[in-house]
Structure 1
Amino acid sequence: MNLYHLRYFVTLAHLEHYTKAAEILAITQPSLSHAIASLEKELGVKLFEKDGRNVALTKCGQAFLKDVEQALSMLDSSVSKLQMTGNGEGRIDIVELRTLSSAVVPNYIKGFLDSRPEKKIDFYFHSSTGVTTDMIQGLKDRKYDIAFCSLMENEPLIDFVPIVRQKLVLIVPNGHPLERYQTIELKDTLEYPQIVFSKGCELRQIIDQLFMKCGGYPPIAYSMEEDQGIAGLVSAGFGIAIIPDMPLLEYMPVKKIGITTPSWERLFYMATLKDIYQPPVILDFIKYVKEHADL
């Protein structure tokens, strides 16, 4: 079925006059008549009937017009979106670890958008389980364009680019005996009740290993899965905690103390699928993040 014939049909259906429709379409009247006749022959029904010097849609033509206009509208919208994408515009689907959602990723996005004010670029944020393995699977399933996550070994299909470092810090409530310190050794925190990550959390395993190096383990006051929740309990005076350094701490009634021994830090990554076609807008954003990685 000829796409031009469908557009001719829609124009004629609205004008109800072959001569006027042909003028609007910039074709000859015989060409328009031939196109409509071909369309009717292919469909096996009459789309128009004479109405004096004009034409009118038949019942079949009325039903066909509704469907054709809807189909052409969807097609035109899709073409427009693809043309925008080819021009460095469009939508980017991302997923991120919660710890990167408060400042790191938003700062990259804001900087990117500010550098291209003339472009129409939309970011779509997908909800996350907080598990890197799920994010990587989402990349493979083409659910996401970019994931901001931890590194996973043995993933030959994924390109991991380091974008930011994160250290562990000690936080204590205001007025706590350790508040006077700027840095501290982890062993000096063992006598104080602590709020820890729940068992099964990756950071709980890491912090437990650090305590093992100190030769002891502190009393546990509470355990939680999320670092923001832990910081909230510390600010309320329920204990102290070892958590990742994050911008939110600057606005909470807690004292942040650097840990000298044993020290620990981890890298976070931007993950994308290798060897696939990426629209220009996605390639531009990937390049921007690489150029502005905070390492």
Structure 2
Amino acid sequence: MNLSHLQYFRELAQVQHYTKAAHNLFISQPTLSHSIAALEDELGVKLFEKNGRTVKLTDDGALFAQYVERSLDALEDGIGELEKRKGRLSGTVRLGAIHSVRSAFLPEAVLAYRRTHGNLVELKIDQGSTKELLDYLHTGENDLAITSEVKADGFVFTPLFRQRLVIIVHEGHPFASRSSISVSELADMPVYTYREDIIVGTEVSEFLESHGLDLAKMNLNRDSDDEVILGGIVSRAPVVGLALDSSGLYPFRNLKLIPLEEPTGSIPQPTTSLNSCSALRIIFTIMTIPKTPT
């Protein structure tokens, strides 16, 4: 059974006239008659019966016509979808993202991608910590990830954008009126910041030590995994927080974000719309596992 026979059958079933069907199909009437006879022989049933100068479907033919119609429609739909994909990207991309990019950077990136490339590529987005996302890349659960840059074998890191470290306080805190704060002022006061055993927490420790602060002598409260927890704590108490300027802080309307005075050195400006001006920047990257050389 070939596709042409099914197309010929559908046309004849619709017009119920050999001459008209052959004309519509741009074939000769003998070719159509031969094709229908071959189809009936293959199926072992009569599909049409004569009705004067026309033909009509038998009961078996009417039943078969329903399935042929659905099958050819589905096939034409499939061909149409493939035509849409010609010269365009398609498939599924599994993307992992840490919390601090999910409210601002990632939505903007997805919208920009859709505007440029359409919706033929399906995006499946997972969230997690940098360590979890590295594990997802190793196991193949994700194709790429947006995360903090770390020292990890087997990965390619591409800088994407940078985030500044800022002081956060409640709007009623004495610091709230300040335009900037020196990191040295944190030495003798309680400071809430990230857990030491996560990547951003390690970066914070290195930043503080690089400016002469002794972590053992500081009053550091290191209970937080991300900016949402830090923002929630600082928004409820007259305390000082040290956090990345990320969208995780945006829901807390009573917070004041204050830049640090210390320069960061010769760090290139990122090609993003995010502010990139002072203190520590955690570099977010797109990471992919490189192919093994052959």
1:72 maps onto 2:72 in alignment? yes
CA displacement at 1:175 relative to structure 2: 2.0
The residue number in structure 2 matching 1:270 is: 286
Q: Is the 8 A contact 1:90 1:120 kept in 2?
A: no
Shift in Å, 1:172:
1.4
Aligned to 2:161, what secondary structure does the other structure show? strand
Contact 1:128 1:135 (8 Å CA) reproduced: no
Secondary structure of 1:183's partner?
coil
Deviation at 1:188, TM superposition (A): 1.0
In 2, the alpha carbon distance for the partners of 1:80 and 1:193 equals 61
2:15 is matched with 15
The residue that corresponds to 2:106 in the other structure is 105
Residue aligning to 1:245: 245
User: What is the SS of the residue equivalent to 1:27?
Assistant: coil
CA contact 1:166–1:265 (8 Å) conserved in 2: yes
CA distance in 1 between partners of 2:248 and 2:135 (Å): 26
Q: Helix, strand or coil for the counterpart of 1:170?
A: strand
Note if contact 1:148-1:270 (Cα within 8 Å) is conserved in structure 2: yes
Equivalent AA in structure 1 for residue 186 of structure 2? D
Shift of 1:127: 3.7
Within 2, Cα distance between the matches of 1:133 and 1:41?
A: 61
1:25-40 matches, within 5 Å, as: 25-40=25-40
The secondary structure found in structure 1 opposite 2:126 is coil
Match of 2:274 in 1: none
The change in CA–CA distance for 1:265 and 1:80 in structure 2 (over 3 A counts) is same
- Give the distance between the partners of 2:240 and 2:121, measured in 1 at CA: 37
**C-alpha contact 1:186 1:261 (8 A) present in aligned 2:** no
Whole-angstrom CA distance in 2 between matches of 1:273 and 1:29: 61
Q: Distance in 2 between the 1:47 and 1:133 partners?
A: 63
Counterparts of 1:1-295 in structure 2, within 5 Å, are 1-42=1-42, 44-46=43-45, 48-52=47-51, 53-59=54-60, 61-88=61-88, 93=93, 95-97=95-97, 98-112=99-113, 116=116, 120-121=118-119, 124-130=122-128, 131-133=132-134, 136=137, 140=140, 147-151=145-149, 153-155=152-154, 160-179=157-176, 180-185=178-183, 188=186, 191-194=189-192, 196-197=193-194, 201-208=198-205, 210=207, 214-216=213-215, 217-220=218-221, 223-237=223-237, 239-247=239-247, 249=249, 252-259=253-260, 260=262, 263-271=279-287
Contact 1:169–1:257 (Cα < 8 Å) also in 2: yes
Helix, strand or coil: the match of 2:38?
A: helix
Structure 1 unpaired stretches of 5+:
276-295
**Aligned Cα RMSD in Å?**
3.8
Give a deviation string over 1:36-90, Cα, whole Å, max 9, x none. Answer: 3333444x3326131513130543x445444444443333333322222224376
What is the SS of the residue equivalent to 1:7? helix
Post-superposition Cα deviations, 1:107-136, rounded to whole Å, max 9, x if no partner, equal 33444555x5xx754564424132322553
Q: TM-score, with normalisation over the residues of structure 2?
A: 0.69
TM-score after normalising by structure 1: 0.69
Name the structure with the higher helix share. Answer: 1
Mean Cα deviation higher: 170-179 or 159-168 = 159-168
Partner AA of 1:267 in structure 2: I
| AA of the residue aligned to 2:169 | V
Aligned-partner Cα distance in 2 for 1:149–1:66: 53
Query: Cα–Cα, structure 1 residues 135 and 168, in superposed 2: closer, same or farther, change >3 Å?
Result: farther
Distance 1:5 1:89, change over 3 A: farther
Q: Using the TM superposition, give the Cα deviation of residue 254 of structure 1 relative to its aligned residue in structure 2, in angstroms.
A: 1.5
- Could you tell me which amino acid in structure 2 is paired with residue 173 of structure 1? H
Counterpart of 1:207, as a letter, is V
Offset of residue 174 of structure 1: 1.0
Secondary structure of 1:207 counterpart? helix
> For the residues of structure 2 that align with 1:224 and 1:51, how far apart are their CA atoms?
83
Report deviation, 1:256: 1.6
2-structure distance, mates of 1:33, 1:199: 82
Q: Deviations over 1:164-206 (max 9, x none)?
A: 1223322111122333251331661662252x44676433344
Report how many residues are paired.
Answer: 263
Shift of 1:101: 2.5
Give yes or no for contact 2:227–2:249 (8 Å, CA) kept in 1.
Answer: no
Call closer, same or farther: CA 1:77–1:57 in 2, change over 3 Å: same
From the superposition, tell whether residues 189 and 77 of structure 1 become closer, same or farther in structure 2 (CA, over 3 Å).
farther
Distance 1:160 1:206, change over 3 A: closer
